[in-house]
């Protein structure tokens, strides 16, 4: 029976699968003792284990939930578990990651982000300075000059100070201990009890690879860390930052009323189309090409038409060309490109260049109408071009708006009132949106 007094989270009589003298056995016993000390319900504990010898721990803990993950990603999975538990479920779970020094580097960003988020996760880094399970290779936490199978003349690089990384990531609880420290149970239990992210790096010996290649004993670990410039003990215990779910409540959940619900469109105008019309609008990014196309699309929808709007721009969003293809149709639209344009609107140099780049002249017919700003010259002959001083009368930022409005006014694919309504909603009184001369065009 799991009475609190007798509760042990580790399998009774579990045989440690580790080499003789390996620090992992001690770390796991102390973890068990820490859980006993905290008297946690086993169902409210989840051990998330990484790849490597320390990851064998999950088979030893038969009372608590165990999740054995991919290499380095344990803190990532633990973050998902912890966030879902705190925000969406019981809010009772204690999520503890067991990871080695190798895993802590390949998964460093998961540790950094968990600390930044301040999720309620405890990361225990079992640091034996090398990859043990795969044969004793150098890790990023191997101290300089430390001998491993892949650094036979001593490791070239200094070791990463993961506690300092955690500090830079605003972690609230940070400790560096050794596997034989008498107060390791207390420090681990403090870390687990901490509301928010905590990390305990535990220095230890790999007796298979570490001690055979280096003059190293357990009582030398502290000195070794100091030589690397790494602090020892409980480095930080500062519960100042709210745990993630509390921050989420104040910073996001309390604002959710500010998100406006979608408004449906009421088709209150009519159209004159018997067949689909394709409209290509080409101009410069930042000059309302795509938003004008969206207005055209909405106006068409308000007239009971089917609509598609396909946009194109370079990978940057605010420079270069901007091009929209809008199809308005009395019936279903399948292919969303404009195969044979009814109108091609070109309002800037960038736009004209893109019309040529995309070979739009091969996507027209003999009735296609070009609405072109009068500052631009289309060299191709035989086109139906209407040249208008759009940039002059409407401004560069509204040249596309003026051109679309012109098309609806002059050719009436649908009621002009539809686009007028949207323009007024966006820019104010229709007669004052553009210069006076525009309205005489």
Partner 1 sequence: MNTTTKKLALRNGNQMTAEGAIKAGCKFFAGYPITPASGIYKGLIDLLPLNNGIAISSPDEISALAYCVGASMRGVKAMTATSGPGWALMIETVQYAMITETPVVICVVQRLGPCTGGATQGAQGDILITEFASSGGYTIPVLYPTNSKECYELTVEAFNWAEKYRTPVVLLSDKEVGMTTESLDYNKLNATPNANRHVITDHDADYANWKMYGFDSPDMITKFAPVGGKVKVTATGSAHNANGYLKKNDPETLATLKHLEDKIQAHRDEMVLVKEDHEEDADTLVISFGITARTMKDSVIKARTKGRKVSSLTIFSIFPIPEKAILKAAKGCKNIVIAEENINGQYRMLLEPLLKNFNVTGINKLGSMITPDEILERIVQL
313, 348, 368, 415: which one contacts partner 1 (CB under 8 A)? 313
Q: State both tokens at 306.
A: 């089917």
Angle between helices 416-427 and 289-302 (to 10 degrees): 130
Is residue 266 a contact point for partner 1 (CB under 8 A)?
A: yes
Q: Mask 273-312, x = binds partner 1 (CB under 8 A)? A: ---------------------x--xx--x--xxxxxxxxx
Under 8 Å between Cβ of 149 and 135: yes
Is residue 270 a contact point for partner 1 (CB under 8 A)?
A: yes
Least distance between partner 1 and beta carbon 78 (Å): 6
CB atoms within 10 A of CB 69: 21
| Euclidean distance between CA atoms 257 and 248, whole angstroms | 15
Nearer to partner 1, 93 or 346 (CB): 93
Under 8 Å between Cβ of 114 and 174: no
Nearer to partner 1, 15 or 315 (CB): 315
Question: Scanning residues 315 to 334, which ones bind partner 1 (CB under 8 A)?
Answer: 315, 333-334
2, 135, 168, 252: which one contacts partner 1 (CB under 8 A)? 252
Nearer to partner 1, 298 or 424 (CB): 298
Nearer to partner 1, 148 or 308 (CB): 308
Least distance between partner 1 and beta carbon 388 (Å): 27
| Euclidean distance between CA atoms 104 and 83, whole angstroms | 20
Is residue 209 a contact point for partner 1 (CB under 8 A)?
A: no
The SS3 assignment for 165 reads helix
Phi, psi of 180 (to 5 degrees): -100, 5
Is residue 88 a contact point for partner 1 (CB under 8 A)?
A: yes
Q: Mask 360-389, x = binds partner 1 (CB under 8 A)? A: ------------------------------
| Euclidean distance between CA atoms 357 and 276, whole angstroms | 25
Length of the chain: 441
Of 349, 291, 284, 288, the residue nearest 314 (C-alpha): 284
Stretch in the footprint of partner 1 (CB under 8 A) among 21-29, 38-46, 147-155, 196-204: 38-46
Nearer to partner 1, 69 or 139 (CB): 69
Is residue 110 a contact point for partner 1 (CB under 8 A)?
A: yes
Least distance between partner 1 and beta carbon 183 (Å): 30
Nearer to partner 1, 145 or 268 (CB): 268
Under 8 Å between Cβ of 303 and 271: yes
Of 296, 291, 308, the residue nearest 404 (C-alpha): 296
Angle between helices 184-193 and 23-38 (to 10 degrees): 50
CB atoms within 10 A of CB 337: 11
11, 39, 84, 427: which one contacts partner 1 (CB under 8 A)? 84
Is residue 156 a contact point for partner 1 (CB under 8 A)?
A: no
Which residues lie across from 346 on neighbouring strands?
282, 372
Least distance between partner 1 and beta carbon 360 (Å): 12
Least distance between partner 1 and beta carbon 314 (Å): 7
| Euclidean distance between CA atoms 198 and 96, whole angstroms | 9
Is residue 432 a contact point for partner 1 (CB under 8 A)?
A: no
Nearer to partner 1, 182 or 256 (CB): 256
Least distance between partner 1 and beta carbon 340 (Å): 10
Of 158, 109, 100, the residue nearest 127 (C-alpha): 100
Is residue 241 a contact point for partner 1 (CB under 8 A)?
A: no
Under 8 Å between Cβ of 154 and 145: yes
Is residue 15 a contact point for partner 1 (CB under 8 A)?
A: no
64, 97, 162, 372: which one contacts partner 1 (CB under 8 A)? 64
Under 8 Å between Cβ of 263 and 200: no
24, 73, 391, 398: which one contacts partner 1 (CB under 8 A)? 73
Q: Residue 336 to residues 13, 326, 327, 328: CA-CA distances in angstroms?
A: 68, 8, 7, 10
Is residue 335 a contact point for partner 1 (CB under 8 A)?
A: yes
Give Dmax over CA atoms of the chain in angstroms: 94
Nearer to partner 1, 247 or 435 (CB): 247
Is residue 265 a contact point for partner 1 (CB under 8 A)?
A: yes
Is residue 79 a contact point for partner 1 (CB under 8 A)?
A: yes
């Amino acid at each position: 029976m799991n009475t609190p007094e007798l509760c042990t989270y580790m399998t009774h009589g579990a045989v440690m699968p580790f080499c003789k003298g390996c620090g992992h056995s001690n770390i796991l016993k102390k973890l068990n003792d820490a859980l006993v000390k905290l008297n946690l319900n086993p169902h409210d504990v989840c051990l998330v284990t990484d790849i490597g010898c320390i990851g064998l721990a999950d088979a030893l803990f038969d009372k608590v939930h165990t999740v054995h993950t991919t290499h380095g990603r344990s803190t990532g999975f633990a973050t998902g578990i912890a966030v879902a538990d705190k925000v969406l479920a019981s809010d009772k779970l204690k999520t503890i990651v067991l990871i080695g020094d190798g895993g802590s580097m390949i998964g460093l960003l998961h540790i950094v982000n968990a600390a930044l988020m301040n999720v309620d996760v405890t990361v225990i880094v079992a640091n034996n300075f090398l990859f043990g399970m795969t044969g004793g290779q150098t890790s990023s936490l191997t101290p300089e000059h430390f001998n491993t199978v892949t650094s036979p003349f001593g490791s070239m690089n200094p070791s990463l100070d993961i506690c300092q990384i955690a500090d830079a990531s605003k972690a609230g609880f940070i400790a560096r201990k050794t596997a034989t420290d008498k107060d390791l149970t207390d420090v681990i239990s403090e870390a687990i009890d901490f509301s928010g992210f905590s990390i305990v790096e535990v220095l230890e010996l790999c007796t298979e690879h570490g001690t055979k290649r280096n003059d190293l004993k357990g009582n030398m670990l502290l000195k070794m860390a100091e030589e690397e410039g790494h602090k020892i003990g409980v480095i930080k215990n500062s519960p100042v930052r709210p745990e993630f779910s509390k921050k989420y409540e104040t910073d996001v959940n309390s604002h959710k009323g500010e998100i406006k619900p979608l408004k449906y469109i009421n088709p209150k105008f009519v159209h004159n189309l018997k067949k689909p019309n394709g409209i290509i609008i080409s101009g410069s990014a930042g000059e309302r090409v795509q938003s004008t196309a969206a207005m055209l699309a909405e106006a068409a929808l308000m007239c009971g038409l089917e609509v598609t709007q396909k946009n194109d721009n370079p990978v940057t969003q605010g420079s270069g060309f901007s091009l929209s293809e809008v199809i308005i149709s009395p019936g279903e639209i399948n292919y969303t490109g404009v195969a044979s344009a009814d109108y091609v609107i070109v309002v800037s140099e960038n736009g004209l260049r893109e019309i040529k780049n995309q070979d739009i002249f091969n996507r027209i017919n003999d009735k296609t109408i070009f609405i072109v700003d009068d500052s631009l010259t289309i060299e191709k002959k035989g086109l139906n071009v209407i040249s208008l001083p759009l940039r002059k009368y409407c401004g560069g930022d509204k040249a596309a708006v003026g051109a679309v409005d012109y098309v609806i006014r002059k050719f009436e694919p649908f009621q002009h009132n539809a686009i007028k309504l949207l323009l007024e909603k966006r820019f104010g009184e229709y007669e004052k949106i553009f210069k006076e001369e525009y309205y005489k065009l």
